[in-house]
Amino acid sequence: CDKLGMYVMDEFADVWTTTKVDFDYGTHMAEWWEHDVSNLVRKDYNHPCVVLYSIGNEIPETGNKFDSQWGKKLADKIRELDDARFVTNSLNLMLSIMDRLPKMMAAAGQGENAEVGEINSMMTSLGDMMGALIASDVAGDAIAESASQVDVIGYNYATDRYEKDGEKYPNRIIVGSETYPQDLDKNWELIEKYPYIIGDFSWTAWDYLGEAGIGKINYEETNSMSFYAPYPYKAAYCGDMNLIGDRRPISYWREIIWGLRDKPYVSAQPPQHHDDPHNMTFWSLTDAVRSWNWKGCEGKPITVEVYADADEAELFVNGKSVERKKIGEKKKFIAYFETTYEPGEVEAVVYKNGVETGRDKIVTASDDVQIKACADRGCVPADESDITYVEIAMVDANGNLNTDAAKDVSVSIEGPGVIAGYGSADPASEENYFDTTAKAYEGRLRAAVRGNGEKGTITVTLKADGCQDVQVQIEAK
């Protein structure tokens, strides 16, 4: 982050003295907090990338005037060790008012026996009511003490308070420490409008293991979708980058919102689910994939998404115009087109003030695929201190990625190196990352290669049925 110029908010802990799960830090915090905070600051002190220290994330004590004094202890200790940086606290106001929720929910018509539960599930089940609870005076008063302890107050999923608190507390500086991925278009307008809102952390950039399936779209007809996905789901599936670091369509939508991309971007929703319900959580936006390979779906309806900072978009399928429409009618910077899937190519042309400003297309890749592999760098430290990634893709003769090519690809290694991990971005794969065979997901895989302490040439070999073997060489130095 120092090298790339990325801002870092380094966070102390996810709990203080109130435990969230068995055996977590809450049982040790009272004894170890001073030691651990000191180590945190010493680690960060000479790193220019660190701009904020966070004293906690979604801490229940922040709504209790007595227990919230832990926040002052933590903030004071950090300032004693480093008075040049700012301190924040990432508040989830639903947790801050957890003890008051049953009465508030009952008053709002949820019944006298309204219950609270696991925070992510509860936030999803409350739906629109959650915004009203967060924006309430009860919630604002509950966190007043905690907000006064820090330089910048972090709001997790509390954009409903941005304008209100800006008026009530003119000296309060706010950062969106966690926000819903589908809300960036609205959030960014507020950030650009109000100088006291300094930024937004959309959850999240990179997919991760745990909180299984919070970004999954459920295609079943149900009024009470379980928040977490059942086994074999293991990844959250809400990252702009998937588990192996490939960008998903939502990342291009964000890039356009931030003014960092002029070119439009085309993706398509899986046609096999076109007529199914699309039940989403707050952490999902779309199931679209950058693909025009939908074998077996020829002649079926398909939804194409076009992202662009423009007035209008026109969609062409195999050179024929489908429709020209305004961008942003349903969602800012997005145009949705209904068409019929046929192999070939789909292209979008976008216009601003009637003048073409860009175009983008995706094509159908041939079923005759081969393995394409390359290392992200040609060498790796021999002393085992770092890894290099071997990127693997199933491509046709023209180099087009075939996202339908779910081939089993085996990996082996010769020379002074080891495979530290191997697999795909499949959030529900039952494969082990230490296996030497994995199935391509959306046409891609990745292997991590580490030195074994000796110098020399490492050779990674990849094999799949119907494909030529491919070798990648890496120097261990």
Q: What is the pLDDT of residues 25-74, one digit of tens each?
A: 999 999 999 999 999 999 999 999 999 999 999 999 999 988 999 999 99
Cα 249–Cα 285–Cα 257 angle in degrees, nearest 5: 60
- How confident is the model at residue 65, as a pLDDT? 84
Domain with CATH 3.20.20.80 in the chain: 8-202
Handedness of CA 91, 93, 97, 102 (dihedral sign): negative
Fold of 8-202: TIM Barrel (3.20.20)
Residue 276 and residue 221: Cα distance in Å, rounded?
Answer: 8
Rounded to the nearest 10 degrees, how much is the dihedral formed by the CA atoms of 62, 65, 66, 67? 0
Domain with CATH 2.60.40.10 in the chain: 249-363, 370-476
In 297-443, which ranges are E strands? 301-307, 312-317, 320-326, 334-340, 345-352, 355-363, 370-375, 379-380, 387-395, 408-414, 417-423, 437-439
- Contact between residue 465 and residue 286 where contact means Cβ atoms under 8 Å apart: no
Handedness of CA 274, 276, 279, 283 (dihedral sign): negative
Mark the ranges of the chain whose per-residue pLDDT is less than 50. Answer: 112, 114
Extract the tokens encoding 346.
């789909």
- Contact between residue 119 and residue 112 where contact means Cβ atoms under 8 Å apart: no
- Contact between residue 227 and residue 239 where contact means Cβ atoms under 8 Å apart: no
- Contact between residue 354 and residue 330 where contact means Cβ atoms under 8 Å apart: no
- How confident is the model at residue 129, as a pLDDT? 81
Q: How many other C-beta atoms are found inside a 10 Å radius of the C-beta of residue 362?
A: 22
- How confident is the model at residue 386, as a pLDDT? 97
- Nearest by Cα to 200 from 179, 181, 221: 179
Extract the tokens encoding 27.
């049982």
Residue 475 and residue 458: Cα distance in Å, rounded?
Answer: 6
Residue 20 and residue 199: Cα distance in Å, rounded?
Answer: 28
- Contact between residue 157 and residue 120 where contact means Cβ atoms under 8 Å apart: no
Residue 364 and residue 315: Cα distance in Å, rounded?
Answer: 16
Q: How many other C-beta atoms are found inside a 10 Å radius of the C-beta of residue 340?
A: 13
Residue 20 and residue 28: Cα distance in Å, rounded?
Answer: 13
Extract the tokens encoding 243.
């588990």
Residue 320 and residue 402: Cα distance in Å, rounded?
Answer: 23
Q: What is the CATH number of domain 249-363?
A: 2.60.40.10
Query: Which residue's structure tokens are 């802990």?
Result: 13
- How confident is the model at residue 227, as a pLDDT? 80
Extract the tokens encoding 38.
């000191």
314 — phi, psi (to 5°)? -120, 135
Q: How many other C-beta atoms are found inside a 10 Å radius of the C-beta of residue 158?
A: 27
- Nearest by Cα to 388 from 376, 398, 374: 376
- Strand order in 379-380's β-sheet? 379-380, 470-476, 456-463, 408-414, 437-439
- Contact between residue 444 and residue 425 where contact means Cβ atoms under 8 Å apart: yes
Residue 198 and residue 7: Cα distance in Å, rounded?
Answer: 12
Read out DSSP for 418-469? EEEEEE---TT----TT-SEEE-BTTEEEEEEEE-SS-EEEEEEEE-TTS--
In 82-194, which ranges are E strands? 86-91, 152-156, 174-179
Q: What is the CATH number of domain 370-476?
A: 2.60.40.10
- How confident is the model at residue 139, as a pLDDT? 95
